[in-house]
Amino acid sequence: MLSWFPAQIKEHGLLPATRLLLRVMRYRIPVALSNRFLQARVECPVCGWKGRRFFDYVELGYRVGNGACPTCDSHSRHRALYLWLTKEFQLEQKTGRALVFAPERSLAPLWEATPNLRVIKTDIAASRGVHLLSDVMRLPFASRSMELIWCHHVLEQVEDDRAAMRELCRVLKANGELVISAGITRLETKEFDSADPMLSGNRRLYGADFPERLRAAGFQVQEMTYNLSTEELERYGVYPEMFFYCTMAG
Ligand SMILES: [Zn+2]
């Protein structure tokens, strides 16, 4: 919270940031009390925390209930991908170079526990322990240089997402793997004229044509689900969402 508030002031101004802080507190206090006094119903697979429910994730323009882990700040998507990375993808056995965009704080220990993978964390802004700044539309890496690329909920905020997808395709090795997702909320993608501060700075809302855009950039795309039972979705506080496993086409 101590570092979060100044960052929000810088991004939105003092008044909106203060309003946001008050909203966060308003939703957080009852959850904190129920976690203290009521029997646990949810657990975080990332850090092992157990409680009644996760904190609400509150942004300027929206709120997601039962969202953020009070201990490691994992969100629904992070918890589900953590389970997939460890159980199905076998991340700890991967080798070579991995390019990780907008590294999720809660997944940091997982990337550190990959002895044979050289992980390069990157973002457009210095935060969350990135190794170097880069613009996904103009990547400072050689062609065919990455065995693995991890890129979640990034392309919504990029000016030219098709150029970004072509860059991801350029730097991925012929036998490499791209694991990518975006918030898909509509039938067709809706482009905005500029970044929307009420929607986490998104420049578009993706539709069901997102995988088609990946295919047009040169990927072979496999549509994935978290593959969790109803009981697991409830226990881990996960909202079902699609993600994409991509390899080079042809
Ligand atoms: Zn956690």
**What CATH number has the domain bearing residue 222?**
3.40.50.150
Residue 199: half-sphere exposure toward Cβ, Cα within 13 Å: 17
Same domain as 176, residue 60 = no
Structural domain containing residue 59: 4-68
Same domain as 129, residue 55 = no
Q: How far is ligand 1, taken at its centre, from the CA of residue 26, in Å?
A: 21
Closest CA to 139 of 105, 163, 111: 163
Q: How far is ligand 1, taken at its centre, from the CA of residue 28, in Å?
A: 16
* pLDDT reported for residue 7: 82
Q: How far is ligand 1, taken at its centre, from the CA of residue 204, in Å?
A: 30
Strand partners, 97: 118
Q: How far is ligand 1, taken at its centre, from the CA of residue 74, in Å?
A: 5
H or E stretch including 234? helix 230-235
The burial of 140, by beta-carbon neighbours within 10 Å (0-12 exposed, 13-18 middle, 19 or more buried), is given as: exposed
Protein residues with C-beta less than 5 angstroms from the ion ligand 1: 44, 46-47, 49, 69, 71-72, 74
- Of 47, 68, 89, the last residue of a domain is 68
Return d(Cα 41, Cα 39) in angstroms, integer.
7
- Whether residue 167 has pLDDT greater than 80: yes
Between the CA atoms of 238, 241, 247 and 248, what dihedral angle is there, to the nearest 10 degrees?
-150
CB-CB contact of 156 with 182 (8 Å): yes
Closest CA to 161 of 120, 199, 202, 104: 202
- In percent, how much of the chain has pLDDT > 70? 99
Same domain as 93, residue 51 = no
- Of 68, 86, 120, the last residue of a domain is 68
Closest CA to 52 of 65, 35, 64, 72: 35
Predicted confidence band at 2 (pLDDT cuts at 50, 70, 90)? low
Predicted confidence band at 1 (pLDDT cuts at 50, 70, 90)? low
Q: Mean pLDDT for the chain?
A: 93
Same domain as 89, residue 64 = no
- Tokens of residue 96, six digits: 């070579």
- pLDDT digit string (tens) for 96-118? 999 999 999 999 999 999 999 99
Helices 161-171 and 210-217, axial angle in degrees (round to 10): 50
For residue 25, what are the CA distances in angstroms to 19, 22, 57, 76, 145? Answer: 10, 5, 11, 20, 45
Query: For 165-178, what is the mean pLDDT?
Result: 98
Same domain as 128, residue 63 = no
- pLDDT digit string (tens) for 194-221? 998 878 789 999 999 999 999 999 999 9
- Tokens of residue 160, six digits: 């030219």
Same domain as 243, residue 187 = yes
- pLDDT digit string (tens) for 46-95? 999 999 999 998 887 778 888 999 999 999 999 999 999 999 999 999 99
H or E stretch including 193? strand 190-196
* pLDDT reported for residue 197: 83
Q: How many CB atoms lie within 10 A of CB 240?
A: 12
CB-CB contact of 42 with 54 (8 Å): yes
Same domain as 240, residue 204 = yes
Same domain as 58, residue 21 = yes
How many structural domains are present in the chain?
2
Q: How far is ligand 1, taken at its centre, from the CA of residue 104, in Å?
A: 12
Same domain as 194, residue 117 = yes
Closest CA to 99 of 183, 171, 156, 174: 171
